[in-house]
Amino acid sequence: MEANLEQAVKKLISDFECPTDALKHAMEDFDELRRKGLEKDDEMLAMAPAYISSVPTGEETGDFLALDLGGTNLRVCWVRLLGEGKYEMKQSKATLPREIVRNESAQPLVDFICDHIELFINENFPEKVGVPEKEFLPMGFTFSYPMSQRSIVDTTLIRWTKGFNIPEAIGLDFGSTLTQGMKDRKLPVVIEAVINDTVGTLVTRAYTSNAYNTIMGVIFGTGSNGAYIENSSDIPKLNDAGNKEKMLINIEWGASSFKSLPATRYDLLLDHDTPNPGRQMFEKRVSGMYLGELFRRALFHLIKVYNFNNGIIPPSVTDSWSLETSVLSRIVVNRSAENIKEVLRPYGIRFRDDSEALLIYDVAYCIGRRSARISSVPIASLYLTTGHAGKKADIGVDGSLVEHYPNFVGMLRDALKDVLGEDEKNISIGIAKDGSGIGAALCALQAVKEK
């Protein structure tokens, strides 16, 4: 191993450190951004009221379709809520093609979604084809992009995130666009609720956990974002809360930029090469879409400047976005030279000796650890500033990163302990499995009840 390489990795690791003081400063920044977003629109944090005013008790029942348009996948589901926090679910999943999610026109996306709904209905509900409108299947739609809402179904897309770029759809109500697409195809479906996956995660966790004090839903998937429960009276921009005391708020915290958090050279280079430089800065350090790319950039630097891999830059390291975050998970799961060599061999990475492989482990580890530590900022800030300090509180989480990156929740808890001290023990964190699907069904149920 080259001594220079060891020094370079040490420096890299220290660049990815996130000291407790910086996290605490960022919590203050976050609280300021949160309050501004509650005051008026067009602030850095969208703070979008979801027009859902309560969380489920676990006793809800009913059958619903759910549609989940995430950053990576499309899911069409059938959900049966059984009460007692239980459910049955059937789903079909498709990866969203890049040329569809980066397109001048929204029509290819609408067609793609309608194709999948049609297939799902033909397979599971053939008896519904051709029924009159009052017999249509009620559907909850999880649309996880920054949107403003005027009611539980009326939305306006503010901007795309997570690598989507369909300019035509911005400023429009994507739920209506989709409804029109379904009408054109005569699909027997009616959208009853449009929600964000954060809200879906919160309500799903409340439904399934028996915790009674679920206060937040957090996504760690392609993007990262959260929802929480706010007092309607503390949302100055809300004109009409419809006599509802509480309101679930989708924060869009992926957009936060915390001046106090140090940026590495890899963050700056990555940001520069995205379609939205200077924006979504939290997301670019935390979420699944970006961690693999940060790792690729770190490898590139180590090869180019420190002769790692004998100075050979394989295509997996030259080509942007060619290293998935799942690669980091596979490295970090086992700190043995054998594992690291095996995971990185297909990507054209070779090691002079075992200690060099372990250095690369440390690089992968510090990128994931920083993500988990930064994630503590909005969670701890909300816990402290929305009336939960010193009390038990439960948080639902969902997304491939938190589910599959080894010990992500453990690292998040360590950071919470750093910033909250003993209060960390008051917080329970649990995966809200199938949050987008179950959550969409639960919100559709609430919408139907309130009609």
Ligand X SMILES: Nc1ncnc2c1ncn2[C@@H]1O[C@H](COP(=O)(O)OP(=O)(O)OP(=O)(O)O)[C@@H](O)[C@H]1O
Scanning 69-77, 110-118, 152-160, 313-321 for contacts with ligand X by CB under 6 A, the matching segment is 69-77
Q: How far is the CB of 417 from ligand X (least distance, A)?
A: 23
User: b/e map of 285-308 (b: 16 or more CB within 10 Å)?
Assistant: bbbbbbbbbbbbbbbbbbbeebeb
Scanning 188-196, 293-301, 378-386, 394-402 for contacts with ligand X by CB under 6 A, the matching segment is 394-402
159 counts as catalytic: yes
Q: How far is the CB of 405 from ligand X (least distance, A)?
A: 4
Q: How far is the CB of 292 from ligand X (least distance, A)?
A: 6
- Element spanning 91, H or E: strand 86-95
- Answer yes or no: are the C-beta atoms of 335 and 309 closer than 8 Å: no
**Please, which residue, 144 or 446, has the CB nearer to ligand X?**
144
Q: How far apart, in whole angstroms, are the C-alpha atoms of residue 91 and residue 67?
A: 9
- Answer yes or no: are the C-beta atoms of 164 and 102 closer than 8 Å: yes
92 counts as catalytic: no
**Please, which residue, 436 or 446, has the CB nearer to ligand X?**
436
- Answer yes or no: are the C-beta atoms of 181 and 167 closer than 8 Å: no
DSSP at 165:
B
String of contacts with ligand X for each residue 134-173, x by CB under 6 A: ----------x-----------------x-----------
**Please, which residue, 404 or 433, has the CB nearer to ligand X?**
404
Indicate the angle between helix axes 337-344 and 325-332, nearest 10 degrees: 160
Q: How far apart, in whole angstroms, are the C-alpha atoms of residue 162 and residue 185?
A: 29
String of contacts with ligand X for each residue 291-310, x by CB under 6 A: -x------------------
Q: How far apart, in whole angstroms, are the C-alpha atoms of residue 115 and residue 178?
A: 12
- CA 93 to centroid of chain Cα atoms: 17
**Please, which residue, 53 or 201, has the CB nearer to ligand X?**
201
Q: How far is the CB of 364 from ligand X (least distance, A)?
A: 11
Scanning 2-10, 64-72, 236-244, 415-423 for contacts with ligand X by CB under 6 A, the matching segment is 64-72
Q: How far is the CB of 225 from ligand X (least distance, A)?
A: 7
Scanning 70-78, 84-92, 277-285, 418-426 for contacts with ligand X by CB under 6 A, the matching segment is 70-78
Alpha helices, DSSP H only, in 307-405? 315-318, 325-332, 337-344, 354-385, 400-404
Q: How far apart, in whole angstroms, are the C-alpha atoms of residue 295 and residue 357?
A: 14
**Please, which residue, 188 or 399, has the CB nearer to ligand X?**
399
Among 53, 144, 287, 376, the one annotated catalytic: 144
Residue 363's nearest CA partner among 338, 333, 339, 332 is: 332
**Please, which residue, 38 or 323, has the CB nearer to ligand X?**
323
What is the secondary structure of 411-438 as a DSSP string?
HHHHHHHHHHGGGGGGEEEEE-TTHHHH
CA geometry: angle 122, 125, 126, nearest 5 deg = 55
% helix / strand / coil in the chain, to the nearest 5?
A: 50, 20, 30
- 407 sits near ligand X (criterion: CB under 6 A): no
Scanning 181-189, 220-228, 273-281, 295-303 for contacts with ligand X by CB under 6 A, the matching segment is 220-228
- CA contacts within 13 A on the Cβ side of 267: 21
Q: How far apart, in whole angstroms, are the C-alpha atoms of residue 283 and residue 275?
A: 14
- 399 sits near ligand X (criterion: CB under 6 A): yes
Residue 290's nearest CA partner among 319, 258, 324, 259 is: 324
**Please, which residue, 25 or 404, has the CB nearer to ligand X?**
404
Q: How far is the CB of 40 from ligand X (least distance, A)?
A: 27
Looking at 37, 70, 217, 439, which residue binds ligand X (CB under 6 A)? 70
- 222 sits near ligand X (criterion: CB under 6 A): yes
Q: How far is the CB of 61 from ligand X (least distance, A)?
A: 26
- Answer yes or no: are the C-beta atoms of 252 and 48 closer than 8 Å: yes
102 counts as catalytic: no
The pair phi, psi for residue 14, each rounded to 5°, is -70, -30
Q: Using CB under 6 A, which residues numbered 193 to 212 contact ligand X?
A: 197
Looking at 208, 256, 264, 325, which residue binds ligand X (CB under 6 A)? 325
How many residues bind to ligand X according to rule CB under 6 A? 23
Q: Minimal CB distance to ligand X: which residue? A: 70
Scanning 164-172, 337-345, 399-407, 410-418 for contacts with ligand X by CB under 6 A, the matching segment is 399-407
Q: How far is the CB of 330 from ligand X (least distance, A)?
A: 7
Q: Which spans of this chain sit near ligand X (rule: CB under 6 A)?
A: 70-73, 144, 162, 197, 219, 221-223, 288-289, 292, 324-326, 329, 399-401, 404-405
- Residues catalogued as catalytic: 144, 159, 197
